[in-house]
Structure 1
Amino acid sequence: MIESGTPRRLGLPASAARLRFDTELQEVGGGPRRRLLMLDDEPAFELSFYCGTCPFLFRRLEGAREKLSLEGVQERLTGALEVPDDGGVIDAFGTLLPQGEYLPLLLDVEPRLVVPGKEGDYFSGEQVTTWGVDQFWGLPEYPHTPYYRTFETAVDADAHLYEFVVPMVPPTWNERERVEEYVALMGRGTVPTAVAISTLDVCEPASGMPIDHYQHWGLTHFLLDGHHKLEAAATVGRPVRILSLLALGEGLAGADDCARLPALRARPRSARPSGT
């Protein structure tokens, strides 16, 4: 982690913001309600179920079909931001966000692109080790999108932090020429900056059901700007910087958990040994 800022009040009323968090209305006789990240009033991602004992989740839905880059700050983001409280960038992206408290985090990451069901997939790996497969489908959770794994570390003996960067659209939608431009820039030492709205979910399986019982802290960065940058960095194994605007109060984590994030994110990266 480069630096953390202080919580800031950002965003527009939900009716005016392009992004907002919501919970589906309960239909008579219907199933459990979904937690959602909405884009232009359409469900873009299903999020971890609010009970806290269900598996951690981000699942792309039909409404996630557009990037949210802002032309007015593109030049500023071509290089590396140095402080998380860059007012111009934060205020610009605040016009997309729902009104609330946000903790700015400035992170250096080396992203690794993961395809669901393939090597390195959290949902068919670490999550299955703890929760097992879905009891109805008999399969692991499926996020319906490639995503990037960037960092993980121990929280304590009974909890582990996993970090993910989730694109609004799959990398196959990226423009090849733009990706190659960033590959070239990174080859010359440039570290560009991406911007994301982020959530922290702390999930722990119910007693007696897991294979390997511990808390999963899921730190998820939903990309607003930086789709080409993340793909380029993953392609050539180079770092990229992320300005994360952590939405306080919107994840399945308490204020004390969110307050621990800067210190946790500054720890050395470490994978959790299986079965411990």
Structure 2
Amino acid sequence: MIRAGEPRRLGVVASEARLDFGTELQELGGGPRRRLLMVDDEPAFELSFYCGTCPLLFRRLEAAREKLSLESMQERLTGALDDPGDSGVLDAFGALLPEGEYLPLLLSVEPRLVVPGKDGDYFSGEQVATWGIDQFWGLPEYPHTPYYRTFETAVDAVAHLYEFVVPMVPPTWNERHRVEEYATSMEAGTVPTAVAISTLDVCRPAVDLGDDYSAHWGLTHFLLDGHHKLEAAASAGRPVRLLSLLTLDESLAGAQECARLPELRARPRSARTAGSPPAQV
């Protein structure tokens, strides 16, 4: 955590926003409706289900095929950005977002790229330890995208915070020369800034199916600007700043839980060990 701003109203009416949150239309006789992050009115990511007892989820869908950066902000974001309440930056990116209440957070992250099913994958690791595998498919949840893990810490003895940065498109779609340029710049000491719209989903299993019954607080940042920066930081082992615009209206967390984020994000990083709850903080 570098700084936290005050909650503020940002965005435009849903019909004008490129990003929006919604629920898919239910077909006659269909199952429960999915909670979605929409891009240009098309489903881009399936999110954690509304019930709050299903596993945490961000699953890339077919409409997630382009980045949403604003070229006019590139120069400003490349330099130092010290104020998460900077009106110019917030208003510029607010033009992409649906109108609502957002909590600006300026974070320092050291991203680690994770491939689903491979070492460090949350969905086949910590999530399985709590929920077990999907009872229908007999497999862990699958996000259909590489993603970055950046932070985790204890909330209390029975809950843990996990933080993720999710690219709108796979890192393999990035331009190699731009990634290399950022990596070289970072190795020389530059710390660039990326921007994301974020959700906080608090998920707690209804029954104990795994080895580690606990609540998972999922802080998920969907990248608006900074795809090349995040990959470069991961490859170079360097930090990057992340301006997070946390939606208070669309997160599966209450006001008190969202208000705790600045304090939780300022704690030391601590991994969760299945079956061994952390000490009360």
1:128-167 matches, cutoff 5 A: 128-167=128-167
Instruction: State the percentage of identical aligned residues.
Output: 81
Contact 1:106–1:243 at 8 Å: present in 2 too? yes
Match for 1:201: what amino acid?
D
Any runs of at least 4 consecutive aligned residues in structure 1 with deviations exceeding 2 A, and if so which? 207-211
Structure 2 unmatched runs, 5+ = 277-281
C-alpha separation in 2, matches of 1:122 and 1:19: 26
Structure 1: how far apart are the matches of 2:116 and 2:229?
A: 21
Letter of the 1:95 partner, please give it: A
Q: Per-residue deviation at 1:83?
A: 1.1
Listed as ranges, the matches of 1:65-76 within 5 Å are 65-76=65-76
Contact 1:3 1:107 in 2 (8 A): yes
Structure 1: segments with no counterpart, 5+ residues: none
Matches within 5 A, 1:1-276: 1-276=1-276
Q: What is the DSSP-based 3-state SS (H/G/I as helix, E as strand, rest coil) of the residue aligned with 2:260?
A: helix
How far apart in 2 are the matches of 1:155 and 1:233?
A: 27
1:141 is paired with a residue whose SS is: coil
Aligned to 1:172, the other structure's residue is in SS state helix
Equivalent-residue separation in structure 2 for 1:193 and 1:208 (angstroms): 40
TM-score between the two structures when normalised by the length of structure 1:
0.99
CA deviation map 1:129-152 (0-9, x unaligned): 000100010000000000000000
Deviations 1:145-197 (A, max 9, x none): 00000000000000000000000000000000100110111011000000000
User: SS of 1:232's equivalent?
Assistant: helix
One-letter amino acid of the structure 2 residue matched with residue 2 of structure 1: I
Is residue 204–residue 215 contact of structure 2 (8 Å, CA) maintained in 1? yes
Segment drifting more, 46-55 vs 21-30: 21-30
Give secondary structure in 2 for the equivalent of 1:37: strand
2:279 paired residue number: none
Please state how far the C-alpha of 1:212 moved relative to its aligned partner: 1.4
What is the deviation of 1:198? 0.1
Please give the alpha-carbon distance, in whole angstroms, between the structure 2 residues aligned to 1:57 and 1:63: 17
- Paired residue type of 1:185: S
- Contact 1:105 / 1:245 at 8 angstroms: preserved in 2? yes
RMSD: 0.7
Whether the 8 Å CA contact 1:249–1:255 is kept in 2: the answer is: no
How many pairs does the alignment contain?
276
Write the distance in 1 (CA, Å) between the matches of 2:87 and 2:252: 28
Give CA deviations for 1:73-109 in whole Å, capped at 9, x if unaligned.
1001112311101111111000000000000000000
CA distance in 2, matches of 1:7, 1:59: 27
SS at match of 2:246: strand
Q: Please give the alpha-carbon distance, in whole angstroms, between the structure 2 residues aligned to 1:267 and 1:3.
A: 13
